[in-house]
């Protein structure tokens, strides 16, 4: 792989230990994917933040990088294993709290913004169309590629961090126009609301795997609905990017390249809803996977207004969205009803099993998929309205 003079200096350690380690990681990655060179990036987003995932070995490696490593581009951070301020509300074990704060501290020393959200595009990490970026977190990757038109592969936490430290990423995969074209054309009827977008993502993710679907037949879609669709596609399948004809920015350029065609009907959507229907009584109802936007929080507040929450209801969002919700009185409505807004975390990366949770209900396809397959919980997948009803009966 071609390296510039500066990149060679990084590789032989002339620019410090962290830059050398980071460059070694990127060169190894570039060789695996036959990248001819590195490309400068405008931003990075680092996943792998919960102490439950990082562990002591991972923390040791991060400490070594932080000895002289600093990020060269705007870099944001994925959710941690707890709300960094209200961890006691979550009944998190004290040892976990201390370890999680050590992880946050080490990222902070490297110059990473402690955003702790999977929606970096809501908190100021807003690449422009065509920008090369290096993002971890599959739901953020699929949103950046599809809705924003920025270019990133599905980076791991460590490859995104290496890219942040060097300001570069190997040039391969979705950084090239020709790899961003659809592989499957999917005819659908207009989904009704974010829940049906999520169900659509489950069905298509299962079929296309890591392909790139082009949806036809969707006449309108809100950003939050595209967020739900993308998160489902990326978790149930391994979809890094999708197009929606007439809506997403690169759909038209690439519309004639799809090779395979399929049709999704209303009964397919019904079947997914039934698959996740269960009578089990949830211990925890959570909304905000990916993290809620301010628009979504406002909608939930208005649905909760005048009602009383009788089960544990967690609403997950970024801290900056919560601050805005505080300012607008949205938080107060939710808290008066008995809901809990949590920042910096989510029930997938938080140790919820240690809190005695066995059955969860959510409107999120990704949340349902990981709760079932990673955390071994019983899951009810329902619309936002149904989740609110369940929480308040």
Residues that bind ligand F3S (CB under 6 A): 78-79, 118, 139, 231, 289-291, 316, 346, 348-349, 366-367, 370
Structure tokens that stand for 17 in this block: 């230990």
* Minimum distance from residue 235 beta carbon to ligand F3S (Å): 8
* Minimum distance from residue 200 beta carbon to ligand F3S (Å): 17
Question: Which segments of 67-156 does DSSP mark as H helices, in order?
Answer: 94-109, 138-143
Please compute, for residue 181, the number of CA atoms within 13 A of its CA located in the half-sphere on the CB side: 10
Could you say which DSSP state residue 293 is in? Answer: P
Query: Which among 192, 229, 350, 236 has a CA at the least distance from the CA of 286?
Result: 350
What distance in Å separates the CA atoms of residue 100 and residue 106, rounded to the nearest whole number?
10
Query: Which among 229, 227, 199 has a CA at the least distance from the CA of 213?
Result: 229
Structure tokens that stand for 132 in this block: 């090369």
Structure tokens that stand for 289 in this block: 């996977």
35 versus 316: smaller Cβ distance to ligand F3S: 316
> How far out from the chain centre does Cα 371 lie?
15
Q: What angle do CA 342, 343, 349 make, to 5 degrees?
A: 85
Query: Which among 11, 5, 6, 3 has a CA at the least distance from the CA of 37?
Result: 3
The alpha carbons of the chain give a radius of gyration, in whole angstroms, of 21
* Minimum distance from residue 105 beta carbon to ligand F3S (Å): 20
Query: Which among 125, 81, 83 has a CA at the least distance from the CA of 317?
Result: 83
> How far out from the chain centre does Cα 143 lie?
9
* Minimum distance from residue 155 beta carbon to ligand F3S (Å): 15
Structure tokens that stand for 149 in this block: 């038109």
* Minimum distance from residue 378 beta carbon to ligand F3S (Å): 17
* Minimum distance from residue 291 beta carbon to ligand F3S (Å): 6
* Minimum distance from residue 140 beta carbon to ligand F3S (Å): 8
21 versus 366: smaller Cβ distance to ligand F3S: 366
118 versus 123: smaller Cβ distance to ligand F3S: 118
* φ, ψ dihedrals at 292, nearest 5°: -65, 145
23 versus 116: smaller Cβ distance to ligand F3S: 116
78 versus 152: smaller Cβ distance to ligand F3S: 78
Three-state SS across 211-234?
CCEEEECCCCCCHHHHHHHHHHHH
186 versus 349: smaller Cβ distance to ligand F3S: 349
243 versus 366: smaller Cβ distance to ligand F3S: 366
* Minimum distance from residue 15 beta carbon to ligand F3S (Å): 32
79 versus 167: smaller Cβ distance to ligand F3S: 79
* Minimum distance from residue 80 beta carbon to ligand F3S (Å): 10
What does each C-alpha distance from 133 to 67, 165, 168, 175, 229 come to in angstroms? Answer: 25, 13, 8, 9, 21
What distance in Å separates the CA atoms of residue 186 and residue 262, rounded to the nearest whole number?
5
CA dihedral defined by 83, 86, 89, 92, rounded to 10 degrees? 50
139 versus 159: smaller Cβ distance to ligand F3S: 139
202 versus 349: smaller Cβ distance to ligand F3S: 349
* Minimum distance from residue 46 beta carbon to ligand F3S (Å): 12
């Amino acid at each position: 792989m071609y390296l510039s003079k500066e990149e060679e200096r990084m590789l032989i350690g002339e620019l410090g230990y962290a830059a050398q380690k980071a460059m070694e990681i990127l060169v190894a990655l570039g060789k695996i994917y036959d990248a001819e060179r590195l490309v400068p990036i405008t931003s990075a987003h680092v996943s792998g933040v919960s102490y439950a995932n990082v562990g002591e070995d991972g923390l040791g490696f991060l400490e070594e990088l932080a000895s002289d490593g600093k990020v060269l581009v705007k870099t944001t951070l994925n959710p941690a294993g707890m709300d960094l301020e209200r961890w006691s509300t979550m009944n998190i074990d004290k040892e976990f709290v201390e370890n999680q704060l050590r992880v946050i501290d080490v990222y902070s020393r490297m110059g990473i913004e402690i955003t702790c959200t999977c929606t970096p595009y809501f908190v100021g990490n807003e690449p422009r169309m065509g920008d090369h970026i290096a993002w971890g977190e599959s739901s953020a990757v699929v949103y950046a590629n599809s809705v924003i038109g920025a270019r990133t592969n599905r980076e791991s936490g460590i490859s995104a961090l290496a890219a942040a430290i060097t300001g570069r990423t190997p040039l391969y995969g979705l950084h090239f126009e020709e790899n961003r074209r659809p592989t499957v054309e999917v005819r659908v009827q207009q989904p009704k609301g974010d829940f049906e977008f999520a169900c659509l993502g489950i069905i298509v993710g299962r079929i296309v795997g890591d392909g790139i679907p082009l949806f036809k037949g969707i006449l309108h879609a809100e950003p939050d609905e595209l967020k739900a669709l993308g998160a489902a596609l990326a978790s149930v399948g391994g979809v890094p990017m999708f197009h929606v004809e007439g809506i997403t920015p690169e759909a038209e350029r690439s519309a004639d390249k799809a090779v395979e065609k399929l049709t999704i009907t209303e009964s397919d959507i019904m079947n997914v809803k039934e698959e996740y229907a269960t009578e089990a009584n949830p211990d925890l109802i959570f909304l905000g996977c990916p993290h809620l936007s301010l628009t979504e929080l406002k909608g939930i507040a208005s649905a909760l207004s005048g009602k009383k929450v009788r089960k544990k209801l967690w609403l997950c969002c970024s801290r900056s969205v919560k601050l805005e919700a505080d300012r607008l009185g949205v938080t107060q409505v939710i808290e008066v009803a008995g809901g809990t807004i949590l920042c910096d975390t989510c029930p997938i990366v938080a140790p919820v099993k240690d809190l005695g949770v066995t059955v969860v209900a959510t409107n999120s396809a990704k949340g349902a998929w990981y709760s079932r397959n990673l955390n071994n919980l019983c899951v009810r997948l329902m619309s936002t309205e149904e989740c609110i009803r369940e929480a308040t009966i």
